[in-house]
Amino acid sequence: MKSVLIWIEKCEQLCMRLRNRISASENFIFTQDLEIQLTNWNMSFKNITSVFSNVCNITNIQLSTNTEAEGLEENYIQEALLYSIEKVYGSLSGAETVEITNEYMRAVQNVFTDLIDKFDSKELLIDCMDKTVSLPLVERANFRRQDALETEKLRWNLEKKENEIRELKINLRAKLDDISNYKLRLETAENKIKLMEKIDETETQRLLSQNDDLRDRLRKAKIEYEDTLGTLQHEIDVCQKENCELRNHASTITKKQSQTVNMAMNHPKTQALLFSITPADSSPPTPEQFNEVVYLEGELKETKLALEWASQHIRQLK
């Protein structure tokens, strides 16, 4: 745990140093290597933050259950860390857990250090003489950043729709439980009426009135259930339509990005710039550049399957 705290403090210092080196008055070039490096850093950063977030959730639950404790021992925190990593990577030993954590922490810290070195050496700065030549690359970088923002927005919308579908399922189960309870109470009342045929007229009338009241409540519950079922079906249809639009939007982004890359690579100034730098820069875009959009399409397919399952479940309930 001491190494984790030292790493957090070191990353905070590196962030401050990196922020001091970024100036709003200067122009920077967003190269393909930098994009790949930032993508890998983003993945490592998400993995390590996800692990630490799970650790915080587990320790928070343990502290809430034991209100008299002022804190947790280090071995409890280590067990929470081991559980959080095994949740993602499966069963691991203690040494493997520490190795994976250190690997992610080193990756994040190395990216900070590398970016600071590049800013110190001014590798990412664009000279005034090279602005006209580097304009296609800058435009392509801007297009990619915009596509990344739109993709992140689409992912957030998908998560929001999944949460809405989950809430709708919970409400549907609650309505079904209410109807089951009403039916059980109705059956109990009817059985009491059959067993108490010899009771005086007053008691019989009271039981009949109670039975009628339960029937009326059951009828109202059925009406409410049908209305809720119709509303849920409508909301699910709306979610399906929105998910279809999101998938079409993601496909449009993929086509747009492909066209942008082809136009940028076919531009004579871009080719001249690429050949003037290094031969390795003239290679066509790699498929790794489209991994995020492919991942988004997979999420869309999973959401569609969840919607189909919910629709089938509703039809069975009918």
DSSP secondary structure of 188-223: HHHHHHHHTTTS-HHHHHHHHHHHHHHHHHHHHHHH
Stretch 76-103: mean pLDDT? 74
User: What's 26's DSSP letter?
Assistant: S
Q: How far apart are CA 17 and CA 86, in angstroms?
A: 34
- Determine the pLDDT at residue 133: 45
Question: What are 177-211's pLDDT values in tens digits?
Answer: 888 888 888 888 888 877 776 666 777 778 888 88
Residues β-bridged to residue 125: 28
Query: For residue 107, what are its two tokens?
Result: 């990756």
Domains in the chain with CATH codes? 1-125 (no CATH), 129-318 (1.10.287)
Q: How far apart are CA 219 and CA 206, in angstroms?
A: 20
- Determine the pLDDT at residue 281: 41
Q: How far apart are CA 68 and CA 60, in angstroms?
A: 14
At residue 264, does pLDDT exceed 80?
Answer: no
Phi, psi of 236 (to 5 degrees): -65, -40
- Determine the pLDDT at residue 285: 47
Stretch 97-124: mean pLDDT? 77
Read off the pLDDT band of 82 (50, 70, 90): confident
- Determine the pLDDT at residue 217: 87
The model scores a pTM over 0.85: no
Give, for 147, the enclosing helix (H) or strand (E). Answer: helix 131-195
- Determine the pLDDT at residue 94: 66
Question: What are 35-53's pLDDT values in tens digits?
Answer: 777 787 788 778 778 877 8
Q: How far apart are CA 316 and CA 318, in angstroms?
A: 5
Stretch 115-137: mean pLDDT? 63
Residues comprising the chain, all counted: 318
